[in-house]
C-alpha cells in the first residue's frame, strides 16, 4: 500500500530552526551544501537527539514509509551547510 500523504520540507542553512512545536514526523534529509545536521525531539536545539551526521552535498537520508515520530517538537541545527528537511 502506498501513502498519498504530502510531506512538507524546509531548507535550513547554517542555522537552528524550530520546524514544529508539536509532535512531528521526520521523513528525511537532503544535503544541499555539506555540513553537520542534527535533529532534536524538542522545541530548541538541545535535548533528545534523533539524528546527527556530517553530510556531503547531494547526500540523501530517507526513512521511507516509516518516519521517526517526535514527542515534543522538531528542531534542526545545520552547522556550516544547507539541508532540506522532509517532515510532517
Question: What is the domain count for the chain?
Answer: 1
Q: Provide, rounded to the nearest whole percent, the portion of the chain with pLDDT above 90.
A: 89
| pLDDT tens digit sequence for 32-74 | 999 999 999 999 999 999 999 999 999 999 998 889 999 999 9
Q: Is the pLDDT of residue 6 over 90?
A: no
Give pTM, 2 decimals.
Answer: 0.91
Confidence of residue 17 (pLDDT cuts 50, 70, 90): very high
Residue in 28, 78, 32 with CA at minimum distance from that of residue 56 = 32
Q: Is residue 86 part of a domain?
A: no
Q: Is residue 81 part of a domain?
A: no
Q: Using a CB cutoff of 8 Å and minimum separation of 24, what contacts does 59-65 make?
A: 59/30, 59/31, 60/28, 60/29, 60/30, 60/31, 61/28, 61/29, 61/30, 62/27, 62/28, 62/86, 63/26, 63/27, 63/28, 65/3
Q: Which domain holds residue 64?
A: 8-76
Amino acid at each position: 500500500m502506498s501513502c498519498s500523504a504530502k510531506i512538507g520540507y524546509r531548507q535550513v542553512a547554517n542555522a537552528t530552526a524550530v520546524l514544529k512545536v508539536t509532535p512531528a514526523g521526520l521523513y528525511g534529509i537532503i544535503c544541499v551544501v555539506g555540513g553537520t545536521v542534527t535533529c532534536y525531539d524538542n522545541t530548541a536545539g538541545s535535548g533528545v537527539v534523533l539524528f546527527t551526521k556530517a553530510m556531503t552535498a547531494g547526500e540523501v537520508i530517507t526513512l521511507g514509509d516509516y518516519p521517526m515520530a517526535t514527542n515534543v517538537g522538531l528542531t534542526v541545527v545545520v552547522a556550516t551547510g544547507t539541508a532540506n528537511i522532509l517532515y510532517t
